[in-house]
Structure 1
Amino acid sequence: MKRLTEALGVLLEWPARRWAVTVGAAIAFAFTIAIPTALIPNPIFGRKIPPTWWSWPALIVSSVLGGLLVATYVRDPANDDDVANRRKGTAGGLLTFFAVGCPVCNKVVLIVLGSAGALTWFEPIQPVLQAVAIALLAWAVIARLEGERFCPLPSRVDSGNPWPDAR
């Protein structure tokens, strides 16, 4: 609980630019998942099975977490080397795609399990995939926010030396 409280404290200190990136990235995340999974009806992609009741709430939570995660990377790219948390965020987004998608519309699932297997084996684990996706995204966001709180970047006011205390 302490980790979450500290992470929320960091969020309160964010400038408007980061919040704008959060909103934009969350919207992009939502459309990137909702269009190919046909949560948003469109002429290119279709669904054979209607979405579950939890698809939209799960997509919204994942999109908000994805937007927050993207916004944590808004800073000097030279000081950004957090591959492990990037992988957790990518895995969370990918799992969200599989979790909210139509089980018999997913070509990979159909090739591996067939249509009967997709309905028998894959559809029942979709809520578990979504829970894991949300956990990975939340873990990555909290880890990135903790890094901001406990390892703040030095100020770049002194353009001559970015590490003025280094000897």
Structure 2
Amino acid sequence: MLLRTTIVKGTVVSVGSFFLFGVVTGLLPNPLYVRMVPRTLFDYTFLILTALFAGIYVAQQPTTDRSGNDRLALGSTIIGFLAFSCPICNVFLLALFSNSILMTYIDPYRPLLGVISVLLFVGLLYSRQRQNCELCERAVNSESP
């Protein structure tokens, strides 16, 4: 039952993130938002990977012990969002920087931001999986006669 619940939660987060981020960034065409920068394969790749890793992270989340990795996962998600969002349509970035600075200094590095986001998520998920395996081994060893 617990396994099914975690898989459902992870799937809901993954699919929800995909549609939310896709609509907000204009990667999924919609009447609410028009993207001003052309869509690229990198944008879709990082959208899918960010949503997928967010879902896997939630599915791995322990029910009793909350680890301190939530900030790293949030940071990875934000960096991933910056990697596939429209640099001149992002209100937050426009409030911090001018349009010319975004197109000159941020837009060329969006693929690099995506790679950093993916690497952070992979490292985080790998370390959490190792922790979960060690906890399982301890539980099995303590139950052995």
Same fold at TM > 0.5: yes
The corresponding residue for 1:107 is 91
The corresponding residue for 2:20 is 32
Percent identity over the alignment is: 21
Structure 2 unaligned blocks of 5 or more? none
Q: Cα distance 1:81–1:18, how it changes in 2: closer, same or farther (>3 A)?
A: closer
Maintained 8 Å contact 2:88/2:99: yes
Give the superposed CA RMSD.
2.3
Matched pairs, number: 140
Q: Note if 1:42 corresponds to 2:27.
A: no
The CA deviation string for residues 4-51 of structure 1, in whole angstroms up to 9 with x for no partner, is: xxxxxxxxxx93433333222211121221111111122222211122
Q: Distance in 2 between matches of 1:58 and 1:24?
A: 18
Q: Note if 1:121 corresponds to 2:105.
A: yes
Where do residues 8-157 of structure 1 align in structure 2 (5 Å cutoff)? Answer: 15-73=3-61, 75-77=62-64, 80-83=65-68, 85-152=69-136
Q: Distance in 2 between matches of 1:63 and 1:21?
A: 13
Structure 1 unaligned blocks of 5 or more? 1-13, 156-163
Q: Distance in 1 between matches of 2:45 and 2:105?
A: 23
Q: Distance in 2 between matches of 1:112 and 1:65?
A: 28
Q: Which has the larger radius of gyration?
A: 1
Q: Distance in 2 between matches of 1:54 and 1:24?
A: 24
What is the one-letter code of the residue matched to 2:25?
T
Q: Cα distance 1:111–1:15, how it changes in 2: closer, same or farther (>3 A)?
A: closer
Q: Distance in 1 between matches of 2:96 and 2:70?
A: 28
What is the one-letter code of the residue matched to 1:82?
S
What is the one-letter code of the residue matched to 1:142?
Y
> Matched residue of 2:97: which SS?
helix
Give me the TM-score of the superposition, normalised by structure 1: 0.74
What is the one-letter code of the residue matched to 1:106?
N
More helix by share: 2
Q: Distance in 2 between matches of 1:135 and 1:109?
A: 23
- Residue 150 of structure 1 and its aligned partner are, at CA, apart by 0.5
- Residue 137 of structure 1 and its aligned partner are, at CA, apart by 1.2
- Residue 154 of structure 1 and its aligned partner are, at CA, apart by 5.4
Give me the TM-score of the superposition, normalised by structure 2: 0.84
Maintained 8 Å contact 1:24/1:67: yes
